[in-house]
């Protein structure tokens, strides 16, 4: 399907490891939307950036069996684009940019407004 005909879906993830149960569904939805040939993006904010911490992901991969990690990998394999809000990253999650895993765009909060306006539909979790 031509890129410009694809529906655009944005999924916003506001929870992190503090409430990991709430992170599985959005990542699963992102993975599904991408497999349905939609142009899919995920925006991590509030506590969501903690899910993108290199060390946290590494530990969870060692432990194994974290559904977030499984769906996250599926989403990436399906071509989902990942964005993280720099204000949430720094002020809310106390992370540095170099702690974020690769292939994630670190962007300002105003990008959420742009992504939402650009998307056909946005889902908030």
Residues within the interface to a copy of itself (CB under 8 A): 7, 9, 12, 14, 21-22, 24-25, 28-29, 32-33, 36, 38, 45-47, 67, 85, 87-88, 91-92, 109-110, 112-113, 116-117, 120-125
The answer to whether 20 touches 125, Cβ cutoff 8 Å, is no
Q: Which is nearer to a copy of itself, 58 or 109 (CB)?
A: 109
Q: How far apart are the first and last CA of the chain?
A: 28
- Phi and psi at residue 117, to the nearest 5°: -70, -35
Q: Which is nearer to a copy of itself, 77 or 124 (CB)?
A: 124
- Least separation in angstroms between CB 123 and a copy of itself: 6
In 3D, which of 9, 13, 59 has the Cα closest to residue 38? 9
H/E element holding 82? strand 81-85
Q: Which is nearer to a copy of itself, 64 or 103 (CB)?
A: 64
């Amino acid at each position: 399907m031509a890129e410009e005909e694809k529906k655009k879906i944005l999924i916003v993830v506001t929870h992190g490891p503090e409430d990991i149960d709430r992170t599985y569904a959005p990542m699963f939805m992102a993975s599904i939307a991408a497999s349905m040939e939609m142009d899919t993006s995920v925006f991590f904010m509030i506590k969501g950036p903690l899910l993108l911490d290199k060390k946290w992901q590494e530990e969870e991969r060692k432990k194994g069996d974290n559904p977030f990690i499984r769906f996250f990998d599926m989403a990436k394999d399906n071509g989902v684009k990942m964005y993280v809000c720099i204000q949430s990253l720094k002020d809310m999650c106390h992370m540095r940019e170099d702690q974020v895993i690769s292939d994630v765009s670190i962007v300002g909060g105003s990008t959420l407004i742009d992504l939402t306006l650009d998307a056909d539909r946005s889902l908030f979790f």
